Structure 1
Amino acid sequence: MYYIDKSEKSSYDKFRTYKIKKGDTLASVARDLGIEADELRWYHNMYCEIPDLIEADFKGYLEFLILAPEKPIDAPKEEIEKKLQKVSLASIYKLPFIAEKINKEYKVQYTTVVGDEVDTLETEVSVKWLASDKNNFHLFEINRGVIYINNAIPDTVMDELAAKTAEVIYPLKIVVDESGKWVDIYNYDEIERRWKDTKNAILDYYEGEVTDNYIEHTEYALESAETLLKSLASDYFLRTFFNGIHVGYTSRYTFQNEVFFPLEKDEESKFEVEQKIDPVLDESNLVRVEQQGDYVDSGSEASFGFEPWKGKFKALYLLDEHSYCIEKINLECNIEYDEIIKVIIQIESFKKEETQI
């Protein structure tokens, strides 16, 4: 094992890193470093670029593993405090939500694991603030780009139909409350009108049982604003990004919270978590907001003599120190049924290069 000099590093030069050697695995490196493999992967995934995410193990092209900084042992307390910049919060320790500052593009990657089956979905999403009202509700427009599944554009009939749905849903306008939590859909009537035109185009081009089932399912979801809201409740981006983290914390920058997350489609899993803000900025001068806790079993399985289900929830939000806008999110949650069900979500802001004419 060895660490690399700054001259060898690229975009990771501000981090402590480990250079991956031939034959290294996540488990072997974790063993050599004396760190749990999950913790090693978690810290790397918090700060790496999306293509470098560690899922089950290292990707073949991965060169560097990002490590947590070493804790200083002998440095004087005064010297350490000089290097630390405190996070500035509003009154009652509230994390500010400055909606009008949000106009960003994000790279998004979801990795779902069901037993031995692993699938990765990648896309780009834009988030733009449009307006706010006197009650501190905010209107946002969400747009989504092309979806890639396992590095390829989907080409089955069902996938093509799903892409047509995206054309109907987006641009999506949503209502967000003062804590940054998504609470409603604003442009249902507009979406319904788009569906009428899209449905006719689908019927002109596609036919068969798959198409009929797809249209039936879509029309059920679009039956009313309430049914559409329920259908979109399983959207990983909306639930992760607009998670309501901009609330009041205690003087210890932490509190106990309940988080509901759609780990399975149309199923809400409950987790009891500790939600906290790191009182100092991280190495990149970003605000760290963490949620970490355990799955709460409903007890229904135990009543039939089965062992209670277990699971974990971990989420890290990295925010700009001035605007408190989200720069990056890393979320992992799982439930251990007969086989493990797990999702890893990474959302990272980026700037699109302007095309020169």
Structure 2
Amino acid sequence: MYYEGSPEESPYNKFRTYKIKKGDTLASVARDLGVEPNKLRWYHNMYCEIHDLIEADFKSHLQLLILAPEKCIEERKEKEEKKTQKVSLASNYKLPFIADKINKNYKVQYITVDGDEVDTLEMEMSVKWLATDKNRFHLFEINRSSIYVNNEMPNTVMDELARKTAQVLYPLKIVVDESGKWIAVYNYNEIDSRWKHSKDKVLDYFEGQVAEKYIDETEYALQNTDTLFSFLASDYFLRAFFNGIYIGYTADFSFKNEVFFPLVKDEEAKFEVEQKINPLLDEFNLIKVEQKGHYVDDGSEANFGFDPWTGSYNASYFLDEHSYCIEKINLECLVDYDEVIKVIIQIESFKKEETQI
């Protein structure tokens, strides 16, 4: 049907070509070769001489049709097949949570908007599975490092004080249920002990009301396991990453759900969302899980004659197709109180370079 090369005098002798026969049309040749007509036309027109351009169909004088190399065709077929590759779920349409596969480093960025004030916080986080008990509760270790505030290392007393007091929390060990939702702090005693050793150093280094405020907040958070859990409930990384997405979905991969998120410290904003899984892998062979919805106003403002608060919640999770581990999260959450309060969270896995000794 086609041959490699063509007569010496042909300008197309370096291409793979098809010799056009009487009665051939663009559609019939495309059908015989298993290529879409527009792709056949596109490749030919990229390399042919101007008078041989294919418009609606072959011109009467056209003898040779330039074809894409075999390698190009195979790569295109492979790409098309990947585009239609279906997501594999467990029984009852459950998204599997394979906790023991999780040992990853993540780059994390928070952009917070409160009225006209915009702040950016960047850091590195690591998540490592440690153990699973007989009830399918999982133990994870979380570490944090490399904090930047508005693209700079902490350069104010307040920033440095916040970093120093927060250091006692890590490594943080947490308990996660079988849906991937964080439910408890595991190493409270260890953290409390670290604080007792660090408190005097913080007091020696920092002075004033700001230092006393951070000391008091830390002391309050470390009263017991419950107060520490409540304190950490405002941590964006823990709430976004351990969101409990590994649950049963419906036959159409979608259902209505409620999401609570700490947009304001110590306050839980409620959102009604549609939670769904894209049934096909994306172009990077990742599973995409989405949560999209709107803020649910409790009506308290309306009682005083104010307009109801509005807001939105949009989160996209991208998971490895084999391990179901989180590779990337894009989350945007906002509520329009008197002014818009918004947070944008971006989390993406990366491989740390090993230090050469």
After TM superposition, is the score higher than 0.5? Answer: yes
In structure 1, distance between residues paired with 2:284 and 2:266: 37
Equivalence for 2:241: 241
In structure 2, distance between residues paired with 1:321 and 1:202: 45
CA contact (8 A) 2:83 2:283 kept: no
* CA pair 82-149 structure 1, distance change in 2 beyond 3 A: closer
Equivalence for 1:209: 209
Q: Displacement of 1:205 after TM fit?
A: 2.2
In structure 2, distance between residues paired with 1:190 and 1:166: 14
Equivalence for 2:99: 99
Equivalence for 1:277: 277
CA contact (8 A) 2:97 2:324 kept: yes
Once the two structures are superposed, the pairs formed by residues 130-141 of structure 1 within 5 Å of their partners are: 130-141=130-141
Once the two structures are superposed, the pairs formed by residues 28-43 of structure 1 within 5 Å of their partners are: none
In structure 1, distance between residues paired with 2:295 and 2:247: 22
In structure 2, distance between residues paired with 1:267 and 1:311: 15
Residue 221 of structure 1 aligns to which amino acid in structure 2? A
Residue 100 of structure 1 aligns to a residue whose secondary structure is helix
Find out whether 1:200 has 2:200 as its counterpart.
yes
Structure 2 residue runs without a partner (length 5+): 1-78
Residue 192 of structure 1 aligns to a residue whose secondary structure is helix
Find out whether 1:343 has 2:343 as its counterpart.
yes
Q: Displacement of 1:338 after TM fit?
A: 1.8
Q: Displacement of 1:303 after TM fit?
A: 0.8
In structure 2, distance between residues paired with 1:112 and 1:242: 20
Find out whether 1:142 has 2:138 as its counterpart.
no
Residue 256 of structure 2 aligns to which amino acid in structure 1? Q
Equivalence for 1:313: 313
* CA pair 82-227 structure 1, distance change in 2 beyond 3 A: closer
Find out whether 1:127 has 2:127 as its counterpart.
yes
Q: Deviations over 1:207-242 (max 9, x none)?
A: 222222221111011111100100000000000000
In structure 2, distance between residues paired with 1:343 and 1:83: 32
Q: Displacement of 1:81 after TM fit?
A: 7.2
Residue 220 of structure 2 aligns to which amino acid in structure 1? Y
In structure 1, distance between residues paired with 2:131 and 2:278: 30
In structure 2, distance between residues paired with 1:282 and 1:208: 53
Equivalence for 1:111: 111
In structure 2, distance between residues paired with 1:163 and 1:82: 44
* CA pair 206-80 structure 1, distance change in 2 beyond 3 A: closer
In structure 2, distance between residues paired with 1:273 and 1:115: 25
Post-superposition, which runs of at least 4 consecutive aligned residues in structure 1 deviate over 6 A? 79-82
Please tell me whether Structure 1 or Structure 2 has the larger radius of gyration of its CA atoms: 2
* CA pair 307-195 structure 1, distance change in 2 beyond 3 A: same
Equivalence for 1:287: 287
Residue 327 of structure 1 aligns to which amino acid in structure 2? E
Equivalence for 1:223: 223
Equivalence for 1:267: 267
Once the two structures are superposed, the pairs formed by residues 19-34 of structure 1 within 5 Å of their partners are: none
- Decide which moves more: 142-151 or 208-217: 208-217
Q: Deviations over 1:132-179 (max 9, x none)?
A: 000000000000002111101122222222111222000000000000
* CA pair 161-88 structure 1, distance change in 2 beyond 3 A: same
In structure 1, distance between residues paired with 2:121 and 2:82: 42
In structure 1, distance between residues paired with 2:258 and 2:231: 22
- Decide which moves more: 235-244 or 301-310: 301-310
In structure 2, distance between residues paired with 1:144 and 1:81: 39
Equivalence for 1:85: 85
Equivalence for 2:190: 190
Residue 169 of structure 1 aligns to a residue whose secondary structure is coil
In structure 2, distance between residues paired with 1:291 and 1:206: 43
Q: Displacement of 1:80 after TM fit?
A: 6.8
In structure 1, distance between residues paired with 2:252 and 2:126: 34
Q: Displacement of 1:293 after TM fit?
A: 0.3
In structure 1, distance between residues paired with 2:106 and 2:165: 21
In structure 1, distance between residues paired with 2:211 and 2:280: 53
Equivalence for 2:176: 176
Residue 147 of structure 1 aligns to which amino acid in structure 2? I
Residue 226 of structure 2 aligns to a residue whose secondary structure is helix
Structure 1 residue runs without a partner (length 5+): 1-78
In structure 1, distance between residues paired with 2:262 and 2:227: 16
Q: Superposition RMSD on alpha carbons, in Å?
A: 1.3
